[in-house]
Amino acid sequence: MDHTYDRELAAWAAMLPPVDHSDPDSAREQVRQSQYQQPLRSVPEDLWIAEVDVPGPAGAPAVPVRVYAPVRPADPWAFSPAVLYFHGGGFVTGGLETGHDECVWTAITLGAVVVNVGYRLAPQHPYPHALMDAHAVLYWLSAQGESLGIDPNRIAVAGEDAGAGIAAALCLLARERMGVRPCFQLLAGPLLDDRLASPSARQFTDTPVLDRVQAANMWFHYMGAAAGGPDVSPYAAPGRADDLAGLPPAHVSVCEFDPARDEGLAYAERLIRAGVPTELHHYPGTFHGCASIPDAEIALRMREDRIRALRRALCAPPPPPVPVPEPPVRGTAPLT
């Protein structure tokens, strides 16, 4: 099938076949090799980076995270916003290196503390392990607010691909549980619906990076034989959630030639109908994961749109104080 890609992306589309997720070990090696070939963003001296093992869910191993923290301002009471980031990789591949550049750029551009989460991967650790890891790190981040210099009321969750699906599921879970709630969700090319019944999921069988066959493989590894069936939890596939009211404001972005396009569009529309402030971007001529392509103007615009959305959500200046009129002097008329 012919697809009219953005002129700067067309050559890349021919060089980026879908990652074969039928064999998870081979898929992971393919992703690792592609990461080695990409230059890493330089890290400024005023950005502190540390790897931490966060206590995991009960009975589970610790969750590795990488913390990116700009040097704190001189004012010890000036707390920073935070972004909890979940890498892509179809629930099967990826790790702390996958989202490294995105996290560096987000931290230095926003002046925010960014936490990159190394959640457990399927099929060795199927649903709900990744979500439980995400939930544990969210609570840890809130509890560490003072030591990390963050404002626990300004924690956003962000992710791409499967990471965006985990971020969306975490918002659903946090809504139902007492305690920490993210103030914003950024969902880039999210994987949200295991049924693969949308027009884009049926149509795109030959697209770069992700096609229908590999999307089905991803969901199978994540949920096993239950994938696509009638009894799937919305915490596994947020597109199945009946009620989206009360979720945090959202930024949802989708690519034109992406099997996951329509489930992202549908989720954003349902958020809007549920009264959730939602910004939706559809980028023509693009394909799944293309925001990471260097030097392409539309890829840069996609990344900048995400940063602008996070800045509006996390870094908006406080409203000016409401002036309080002085009471009139007793016994005199007000000036006209």
240 vs 74 pLDDT, higher one: 240
Helices (H), 150-296: 162-176, 199-203, 212-223, 261-273
Is the C-alpha dihedral spanning 201, 124, 67, 294 positive or negative?
negative
Q: Structural domain tally of the chain?
A: 1
pLDDT of residue 256: 98
Contacts of 157 (CB under 8 A, 6+ apart): 83, 84, 86, 134, 138, 167, 170, 171, 182, 184, 185, 186
Angle between helices 162-176 and 129-143 (to 10 degrees): 60
pLDDT of residue 19: 87
Q: Are 263 and 192 in contact (CB under 8 A)?
A: yes
Within-domain flag for 178: yes
pLDDT of residue 262: 98
Phi, psi of 282 (to 5 degrees): -115, 120
Helix (H), strand (E), coil (C) string for 97-159: CCCHHHHHHHHHHHCCEEEEECCCCCCCCCCCHHHHHHHHHHHHHHHCHHHHCEEEEEEEEEE
Q: What is the pLDDT of residues 223-273, one digit of tens each?
A: 999 999 999 999 999 999 999 999 999 999 999 999 999 999 999 999 999
| pLDDT over 80 (residue 159) | yes
| pLDDT over 70 (residue 4) | yes
As a whole-number percent, the residues of the chain with pLDDT over 90 amount to 77
Within-domain flag for 253: yes
d(CA 94, CA 118): 8
Q: What is the pLDDT of residues 89-147, one digit of tens each?
A: 999 999 999 999 999 999 999 999 999 999 999 999 999 999 999 999 999 999 988 78
The verdict on pTM exceeding 0.75 is: yes
Within-domain flag for 5: no
Helices (H), 9-128: 10-15, 24-36, 100-110
pLDDT of residue 145: 82
Side-chain half-sphere CA neighbours of 195 within 13 A: 15
Out of 69-73, 168-172, 294-298, pick the least confident: 69-73
CB atoms within 10 A of CB 199: 10
Average pLDDT over residues 21-45: 75
Phi, psi of 21 (to 5 degrees): -90, 5
Q: What is the pLDDT of residues 171-193, one digit of tens each?
A: 999 999 878 999 999 999 999 99
Average pLDDT over residues 269-293: 97
pLDDT of residue 259: 98
pLDDT of residue 320: 55
Q: Mean pLDDT across the chain, nearest whole number?
A: 90
Q: In terms of Cα–Cα distance, which of 243, 215, 240, 220 is closest to 230?
A: 240
Within-domain flag for 4: no
Helices (H), 224-296: 261-273
pLDDT of residue 146: 79
| pLDDT over 90 (residue 32) | no
Average pLDDT over residues 206-210: 96
| pLDDT over 50 (residue 149) | yes
pLDDT of residue 330: 45
d(CA 202, CA 191): 15
pLDDT of residue 75: 57
Pair of tokens at residue 314: 């996390």
Which residue range(s) make up the domain with 257?
A: 10-314
Confidence of residue 316 (pLDDT cuts 50, 70, 90): low
| pLDDT over 80 (residue 289) | yes
Average pLDDT over residues 302-314: 97
Within-domain flag for 329: no
d(CA 87, CA 134): 11
Average pLDDT over residues 309-327: 69
Q: Are 183 and 154 in contact (CB under 8 A)?
A: yes
Average pLDDT over residues 200-228: 97
Within-domain flag for 140: yes
pLDDT of residue 35: 61
Within-domain flag for 319: no
Length in residues, the chain: 336
Contacts of 26 (CB under 8 A, 6+ apart): 20
Within-domain flag for 325: no
pLDDT of residue 328: 46
Q: Quick one: how far is CA 113 from the chain centroid? A: 15
CATH number at residue 75: 3.40.50.1820
pLDDT of residue 171: 98
